[in-house]
Chains A and B, each alone.
Chain A
Amino acid sequence: MSRLFVVPVLLLATILSAVTLTVIGPWAGPEMEKFMPVLREFEKQTGIKIEYKIYRAEDLANLLPAQFAAKKAPGDVIFMWASFIREYGQKGHILTLNGVLDEAKFLPGALDAVKVGDKLYGAAYTGKVKPGFWYRKSFFAKHGLTPPKTWDEFVELLEKIKKIPGIKAPIASGDGVGWPLSDVTEHFLISFGGPELQLDLIEGKVRWDSNLVMKGMNKLVSLLKNKYFGEPTEWTLVLKQWWNGDYALYFMGSWITGMVDDPNDLGVFALPGANGVVFGADSAFVPKYTQYPEEAKKLIAWLCSPEGQALQVKQGGHVATAVGIDLSSYPPVDREVAKIIQGVTALPDLDDSIGGEFQPTFWDQLKLLWVAPDRLNDVIRTLQEKAPKK
């Protein structure tokens, strides 16, 4: 009789003691489906269960400060902006990952964005690059278009596209929170101001009204004034419109390869003269208030291991930050992306790195610039007011 009682109690105790880690990330839909195999494999190998929750970084920026103040955290491993991780790591709300991750096993500089001094507050999971303007090879072939090699050729290409019947505008403008517009703007700044400009702007060493910045911004404004960019439209909606031929070009990160019906039909080119490309690693951290610090660190180690990252890059749209990933792990289209970024400087994302008040201001001011390009000076003045200063 007593055995009958003991068995269910033991069973219940086992169930109650099973660890379930909560992972918070921004990916939903197809992006999430491509992330889940990595988590499932970890579950299989360790027996630790994982619950995945979707939160946008913008929402986490509101939620986490209050949670941290109450010594709580909504997840055990959380994907968030590097600037946020650095800031709250220094405030003591984030566990350090020194000893969990070996910097030598990452691409050079991959962990810089989540490091303060010798303290490592976050991990660099796989990343995405923002290589340039994507086009459909079939669309270009149908209309006899070729990727440009000079700025003049680029403008000629836009003019040709503009004349194609049924085209809303040559370049689709993704909107939403605002980051698609900031990505394309950064590409102009890097192309006409050099890769150092991006780093100097992040550190506040150069003013927004400097000649170098204005050179890139004026080029962008010249295209906006000629209506080569479409009206800002929600970025996933405009992605479909671009794919259906309403637009010919779309500036987007490499995750686009995982969001279209036929990735093999994708081609991409950077602005002629671009010597740098934004490489954004998906940064994750373990909050100090997790119930399962060791298990969470184990998950971080798995996510950053060559095996974990190989599983992710195989799904498409991601670029590994860990060294030792064979190129054959990548789908063909991602290998093309990898080729584009060879020989150019990998740069951190401008607004993600600065964060704070600057980021929403940058996004908002670019929305204004896109519909009112003649107000460039107002935009520059506002950005200079909110930019970091050294």
Chain B
Amino acid sequence: MAFFVVPAFALVGIFVVYPVARTVVLSFLDSDGKFVGLQNYIKVLSSREIVNLEGLSRGFPLGALVHNLLWIAIHLPLTLALGLVLAVLLRNVRGGAVIKSIIFLGMVMPMIVGGVMINFMFDRNLGIFNAFMEIFAIPTRSWTAYPDTALLALIFGSVWLWVGFSTVLYSAGLETIPKDLYEAAQLDGASALKIFTKITIPMLRPITIVVVTMTLLWELKVFDIVYVATMGGPGGASNVLALQMYLYAFRALDFNRSAVVAVLLTMSTLLVSLPLLRTLRDDQS
């Protein structure tokens, strides 16, 4: 019987375990293969590319790590709230499924195309965002070209791409809530807001955990959108960890520093995944 699992273990070993282990080892070596302890970690974490404290007084760039945290701080609550609101609003609307499908299109699109579209969306000459701003006589600009707005433009653009995911998951979750709970609440005279906060939100908790976890994981590893839209610029103002990992590896040809960023990203991903795993285990038990 054990014989049959050998191919699966071999594949996982070769393509998952070995590369992960090798990356961890690389992060502790210098370019000559000599063990250097935590030196690479200190070098990476103290570099302005990762954390730029001067940015606190001068503005962007703040460093790739801070940019990722900002991405999480803005993108996560927005996608959660928008997804939930859209799912609830479109629940009993005729043609709601079609609208949800249209919203989900952003999610289906390859993120590399999404990045190009975000660039166009915020472009001074072609962008829909500027067309909207002109209505209110707000001065137009290419929002991804300026250090103070590049990252924010990417984050808001990515909300448009990702909100389809949370909408669809919340829509599916809403269908699982028993209707009699709502009917009982209505009979007791509960307001719509009370029903939403006391029934809908608590009953959607497992879905929320999935959405939060998946969104966090995506926010941590975001690369393609940034790569095509701004390449982390201008002046590193929209740089993120995954892009910095790529730049270390393929532009600086410094695989050790790149491995450090990879390890940091893996650890963050594991930390983020733990609550989901714990919840799934609790649900099963």
Q: In the complex, are the beta carbons of B147 and A62 less than 8 A apart?
A: no
Known A-B contacts A233-B124, A382-B235; A372 and B251 likewise in contact (beta carbons under 8 Å): no
Q: Which residues of B contact A92 (CB under 8 A)?
A: none
For the residues of B in contact with A, the DSSP-based class is loop
Q: In the complex, are the beta carbons of A367 and B145 less than 8 A apart?
A: yes
Q: In the complex, are the beta carbons of B147 and A61 less than 8 A apart?
A: no
Q: Which residues of B contact A62 (CB under 8 A)?
A: 250
B58 proximal to A (CB < 8 A):
yes
Complex interface: stretch among A196-204, A207-215, A323-331, A356-364: A356-364
B260 proximal to A (CB < 8 A):
no
Q: In the complex, are the beta carbons of A356 and B251 less than 8 A apart?
A: yes
Q: In the complex, are the beta carbons of B235 and A233 less than 8 A apart?
A: no
Q: Which residues of B contact A232 (CB under 8 A)?
A: 142, 145
Interchain nearest-CB distance for B84 vs A (Å):
37
Most buried by B among A65, A360, A369: A360
Most buried by A among B145, B234, B247, B251: B234
Q: In the complex, are the beta carbons of B251 and A378 less than 8 A apart?
A: no
Q: Which residues of B contact A241 (CB under 8 A)?
A: 125
Contact residues, A160-203 vs B (CB, 8 A): 175, 177-178
Known A-B contacts A237-B125, A367-B145; A61 and B237 likewise in contact (beta carbons under 8 Å): no
Q: In the complex, are the beta carbons of A177 and B124 less than 8 A apart?
A: no
- The docked-state distance in angstroms from the alpha carbon of A363 to that of B235 is 9
Q: Which residues of A contact B124 (CB under 8 A)?
A: 231, 233
- The docked-state distance in angstroms from the alpha carbon of A93 to that of B260 is 28
B141, B235, B254: the one within 8 Å of A368 (CB): B235
Interchain nearest-CB distance for A373 vs B (Å):
12
Per the CB 8 Å criterion, the residue count for chain B at the interface is 23
B146 proximal to A (CB < 8 A):
yes
Q: Which residue of B lies closest to A381 (CB)?
A: B48
Q: Which residues of A contact B232 (CB under 8 A)?
A: 364
- The docked-state distance in angstroms from the alpha carbon of A65 to that of B251 is 11
A365 proximal to B (CB < 8 A):
yes
A371 proximal to B (CB < 8 A):
yes
How big is the A interface, by class?
20 to 34
Bits for B243-269, please: 1 = Cβ < 8 Å to A, else 0. 000010011111000000000000000
Bits for B213-248, please: 1 = Cβ < 8 Å to A, else 0. 000000000000000000111111100000000010
Q: In the complex, are the beta carbons of B235 and A365 less than 8 A apart?
A: yes
Q: In the complex, are the beta carbons of B234 and A364 less than 8 A apart?
A: yes
Q: In the complex, are the beta carbons of B231 and A233 less than 8 A apart?
A: no
Q: In the complex, are the beta carbons of B250 and A368 less than 8 A apart?
A: no
Q: In the complex, are the beta carbons of B141 and A231 less than 8 A apart?
A: yes
Q: Which residue of A lies closest to B248 (CB)?
A: A357
Known A-B contacts A231-B142, A356-B252; A371 and B231 likewise in contact (beta carbons under 8 Å): no
Interchain nearest-CB distance for A186 vs B (Å):
19
- The docked-state distance in angstroms from the alpha carbon of A232 to that of B234 is 11
Enumerate chain B interface residues (CB-CB to A < 8 A). 48, 58, 123-125, 141-142, 145-147, 231-237, 247, 250-254
Given A368-B234, A371-B234, 16 other A-B residues pairs in contact with their CB atoms under 8 A? A61-B251, A65-B250, A65-B253, A177-B231, A231-B124, A231-B141, A231-B145, A233-B123, A356-B251, A356-B252, A356-B253, A357-B247, A357-B254, A360-B247, A364-B235, A371-B145
16 CB < 8 A contacts A-B: A62-B250, A65-B253, A177-B231, A231-B141, A232-B142, A357-B254, A360-B247, A363-B233, A367-B233, A367-B234, A367-B235, A368-B147, A368-B235, A375-B58, A378-B235, A382-B235
**List of 4 A-B pairs having minimum Cβ-Cβ separation, nearest first:** A368-B235, A367-B234, A357-B252, A368-B234
